[in-house]
Structure 1
Amino acid sequence: MVYETGNRTVDDAVARVLGGEQLDRTDGLALIAQPVEDLAPAADYVRSQFGDDTVDACSIVNAKAGDCAEDCGFCAQSVHFDSGIETYGFLDPEEILQAARRAERDGAQRFGIVVAEKGVSKEQRPDEWDEVLRAIRLVRDETDVEVDASLGILTEEEAAILAEEGINHYNHNIETSPDFFPEIVDTHAFEDRVETLEVAKSAGMDLCAGVILGMGESPTDRVDAAIALQDIGVSSLPVNILNPVAGTPLGEKFGDSPPITTEEIIQTIAVYRLLHPESRVRLTGGREVNLDADEQHLPFEAGADGILTGDYLTTSGQSPGDDIEAMERAGMEPNMDANEFDKDAVKSRADAGERADVETAAGTATSNAEPGDD
């Protein structure tokens, strides 16, 4: 079957992707200049040919909050900025297990243990490393969710241990393009992030690595980030949209209005699908504040097939029931490969307003910010 929009650039790209060809930077730059009304349905068609019409949900816990030595300009957890968040050391593994059980109840297929620091070090903080491993084992052995981790930089030894313990995906976002990265972070280089991803991949873990849109980057930067992720090889591509947090450099620069439109968000997601036809393109932080309530389904109509559901690291998300309704509005269903759950019960809890009274998966750190990405 030939897919046709009447847009030669888009139609040619779709035909080549369906023929097994990987699109390159030149293609990406041409595509991101095309009208969203042509891009979105084309990307959705490609997604339908490679996927199964389900949305894979993951959830996270902020296992150690604040006091990070890095200076990422978007991050409320950096010690360099006064964002007003609550800080704490590594959580008791039993608390992490409880968060995983909430994620399991809410329909997550995978659960990420996240530590916001340069790296959990087996050599420098052996007691903390042991607690990380205990938390992984508890979630692995006592829930149906797959265990992911985001623990900063890794040595080869640490990566091998995590893979042996059953970590499914290792998350380490590249944040933006190589050229724009120095505008956002001074304390480490883009290449440092790539190196960690390569170490994790070599150890046998799948990679979850993506971007934050709306930090002042250009459309070219958005394409270049996707091309860098092609070179790395990711199976999950999280797309955050900046939710500027007061006290951070980007919060001070943009206030509560990131320089990105709904059209640009949907356009970029569609291009990412065409550049990464076999990856999960995953909606993550900041979507609630950058897309109106009646727009939450649009990314799923533009090639997205993954979501981070529940709360984020320092800010609140919308209810998992609302997330399910957004996917269903787009004609998709929640994935249940790892964790079969009662989606009607999840939606009923949202309808009953339980979100205000019951923590979702993160629910472990507070911020003065509105729902968003960090």
Structure 2
Amino acid sequence: MVHETGNRTVDDAVERVLDGERLDRTDGLALLAQPIEALAAGADLVRATLGDGTVDACSIVNAKAGSCAEDCGFCAQSVHFDTGIDTYSFLDPEEILAAAKRAERDGAQRFGIVVAEKGVSKERRPDEWAEVLRAIRLVRDETSVEVDASLGILTEEEARILAEEGIDHYNHNIETSPRYFPEIVGTHSFEDRVATLEIAKDAGMDLCAGVILGMGETPTDRVEAAIALQDIGVASLPVNILNPVAGTALGDQESADITTGDIIKTIAVYRLLHPHARVRLTGGREVNLSADEQHLPFEAGADGILTGDYLTTEGQSPSDDIEIMERAGLRPNTTVNDFDPEAVGTGGSSSTDTTAVGSATSNARND
């Protein structure tokens, strides 16, 4: 090995991963029990060896806000909860394009069109479906960013059309482990989410699927979720941390039910269980990690970030995110969108505007 941490469990896992072996549930649980310093160092070695030394930034637009019939306990957009957020129907595609252009200037490599509902339906809402496709085409044709989507449950026909229109990644988070999922969501099942991911993958789209930490799940649940994602096969694994929203089922929590150390350890284990995926730090990081801590997950295997605002909560500036990358010894990915990181870092891009999603939406999400 090029490097050893001195921790036999971590060093053995790193060697097996670099030899191409897939770690399992037992490995994940054993790794989660190791000291944070050794675990972070081992995960960082895997990232450095198999990755490209960059952090991949994505951004999202809340293209349809609120009035969702599902009861996800963390979500401010559910009709089951009184959260006071702004609600609106599907945005004009030109507004979505404007948000994508801001994201492009802010250094995003990919841009996600997100709706708050169980699923955009080609059959039940054909007019809305047509607007979704028009928005995809505008972003695809008039920006350099890759176009992603998070449109809820899909049929096989809908997935095929989205793939043909050029959707690169389909996002549909599993949120937590199969065991704990019914404690968080009652109106659909874990299996429903997996089925849509399989449909999207079969249609040819890469998958972006991840979790929310700190909802009351156990450390074992965190590992079980990562194993479920192994079986599904994801290219991007977003790791959200609960930002409790007043009025939701989880809104009485003052903060996420997880420590900083456990966040970093979970990120490291996810890197070892998913050595070739982008492990992406996303919603809730600003309220659960201090400004002096946000670089630490990127020194423990993370190599992706969601920049700008989220769906119903504010994020931080893209220039701050670039500083976090650089503090961790990494650089922004410019493979798809060859932007000037210095311009973003010095406020030369859209930092004087609202961030990539904020102007067209009521900001961000945990889901």
Deviations 1:222-271 (A, max 9, x none): 0000000000000000000000000001012x1x2221110000000000
SS at match of 2:250: helix
Q: How many residues are matched?
A: 366
* Structure 1 stretches of at least 4 aligned residues deviating more than 4 Å after TM superposition: none
Task: Tell me which residue corresponds to 1:304.
Answer: 302
Given residue 186 of structure 1, which amino acid in structure 2 is its aligned partner? G
Deviations 1:284-304 (A, max 9, x none): 000000000011110110000
Task: Tell me which residue corresponds to 1:279.
Answer: 277
- Determine which of 340, 360, 365 is the counterpart of 2:361: 365
> Separation in 1 of the partners of 2:295 and 2:2?
26
> Separation in 2 of the partners of 1:2 and 1:284?
31
Given residue 49 of structure 2, which amino acid in structure 1 is its aligned partner? Q
Is 1:223 aligned to residue 223 of structure 2? yes
CA separation of 1:93 and 1:372: change in aligned 2, threshold 3 A: closer
The answer to whether the 8 Å contact 1:76/1:83 transfers is yes
Deviations 1:80-100 (A, max 9, x none): 000110000000000000000
Is 1:73 aligned to residue 78 of structure 2? no
Task: Tell me which residue corresponds to 2:146.
Answer: 146
Task: Tell me which residue corresponds to 1:25.
Answer: 25
> Separation in 2 of the partners of 1:49 and 1:266?
19
What are the residue-to-residue correspondences of 1:247-286 with 2, within 5 Å? 247-252=247-252, 254=253, 256-286=254-284
Task: Tell me which residue corresponds to 1:316.
Answer: 314
Shift of 1:349: 1.5
Task: Tell me which residue corresponds to 1:289.
Answer: 287
> Separation in 2 of the partners of 1:333 and 1:67?
39
Task: Tell me which residue corresponds to 2:212.
Answer: 212
The answer to whether the 8 Å contact 1:71/1:80 transfers is yes
Tell me the TM-score normalized by structure 1: 0.96
Cα RMSD (Å) of the superposition? 1.3
Unaligned runs of 5+ in 1: none
Is 1:325 aligned to residue 323 of structure 2? yes
Shift of 1:366: 3.0
Shift of 1:372: 6.5
What are the residue-to-residue correspondences of 1:23-172 with 2, within 5 Å? 23-172=23-172
Task: Tell me which residue corresponds to 2:14.
Answer: 14
Given residue 361 of structure 2, which amino acid in structure 1 is its aligned partner? A
SS at match of 1:113: strand
Q: Percent identity?
A: 79
Shift of 1:344: 1.2
Shift of 1:373: 2.9
Deviations 1:172-197 (A, max 9, x none): 00000000000100000000000000
